[in-house]
Amino acid sequence: MNPRPRIHLTEVAPRDGLQAEACFVPSADKIALIDMLSRSGLAKIEVTSFVSPQAIPALADADAVLGTIHRAPEIIYTVLVPNLRGAERALPLRPDEFNLVMSVSESHNRANLRRSCEESFSALREVVALARTAGIAINVSLSTAFGCPYEGEVAQARVLDWAWQFFDLGVDSIALCDTTGMAYPAQVSTISAAWARRWPLETLTLHFHNTRGMGLANVLAGAAAGVRRFDASLGGLGGCPYAPGATGNVCTEDVAHMLELQGYDCGIDIDILLAASERLQKLVGHEVPGQILKAGRRLERRPAAIVKR
């Protein structure tokens, strides 16, 4: 009997989801949510961002949240660190990992971080040095890796070249991020195969948005190519939909539900995820785009209304 391939999911809602919310979710609620997520079988949780509280007030309580959550030994607790100042602030709280962010397309990096890719890289180099000295793992999230809303197509060679440069600095892993939902399955297969020819696939996480409806199809293409690590957001929260009504991050419970049906082992207790997703919905005060939360799991019997065709 073939064992089911193990997939490792990173939950990004506490950072990537909440940062986009207008309301401030009280620290105690964030902590309770993350503690609940810690019991669901996730491999990694992006807890918060050590960004300036002026820039993102929703995450102004990063220190309190990271310092108070109950950390399960088998889970990697990662935090976004935008710069050296953020890293120095996070360091005493000993997260398991720093998550650094840079766009691989110049115009997106300028629009988002107000500097060139080279300037970002130089600044992040110092953060990497600090993390290595402190013995904290480093993931780099490369934005616009599947296309840029300003420049269009982003060459695969450019993406892989930035990955090389970061690996040369000593980072442990890289996430390729489909920031505005431009990835399509054939593209995902190609870049995953190219990655596997250069580096172990354990170093790669794929981060998809469902902006053009292909989020789950992209996850599946990545998994078929041997990728075992995916970012996802509880309820599909966040991911900065860049058009009104468009969806952002792929939804953790929808991803786990599909992958389990496809014969992968996510190690996830979907009941806990669904309960957490319902709680999240209440915390943010609006509906989240996740589908399983509304429709139930595939074989869940519901007193369905009469359904035609």
User: Site residues (CB under 8 A) for its own copies?
Assistant: 16, 19, 101, 108, 111-112, 141, 143, 147, 149-150, 152-153, 177, 179-182, 184-187, 207, 210-217, 220, 239-247, 251, 254, 257-258, 261-263, 287, 290-292, 294-299, 301-302, 304-309
Of 293, 255, 185, give the one whose Cα is nearest residue 9: 255
Closer Cβ to its own copies, 90 or 220, answer by number: 220
Closer Cβ to its own copies, 41 or 239, answer by number: 239
Nearest distance from C-beta of residue 287 to its own copies, angstroms? 6
Nearest distance from C-beta of residue 182 to its own copies, angstroms? 5
**What does the alpha-carbon distance between residue 290 and residue 152 come to, in Å, rounded to a whole number?**
28
Closer Cβ to its own copies, 61 or 254, answer by number: 254
Structure tokens at 299: 């074989």
Partners of 186 in the beta sheet? none
From the candidates 117, 148, 240, 266, give the one annotated as an active-site residue. Answer: 240
**How long, in residues, is the chain?**
309
Closer Cβ to its own copies, 283 or 292, answer by number: 292
Structure tokens at 102: 């840079």
Nearest distance from C-beta of residue 270 to its own copies, angstroms? 12
Closer Cβ to its own copies, 165 or 291, answer by number: 291
**What does the alpha-carbon distance between residue 126 and residue 185 come to, in Å, rounded to a whole number?**
35
Nearest distance from C-beta of residue 186 to its own copies, angstroms? 5
How many other CB atoms sit within 10 Å of the CB of residue 16? 26
**What does the alpha-carbon distance between residue 101 and residue 109 come to, in Å, rounded to a whole number?**
10
By DSSP bridging, strand 204-207 and strand 229-232 are parallel
Structure tokens at 240: 């900065």
**Is there a catalytic annotation at residue 240?**
yes
Of 190, 198, 136, give the one whose Cα is nearest residue 162: 198
On the CB side of 14, CA atoms within 13 Å amount to 33
Burial 165-204 (b: 16+ CB within 10 A, else e): ebbebebbbbbbbbbbbbbbbebbbebbebbeeebebebb
Nearest distance from C-beta of residue 133 to its own copies, angstroms? 26
Closer Cβ to its own copies, 71 or 209, answer by number: 209
**What does the alpha-carbon distance between residue 11 and residue 234 come to, in Å, rounded to a whole number?**
7
Nearest distance from C-beta of residue 102 to its own copies, angstroms? 10
Active site residues: 240
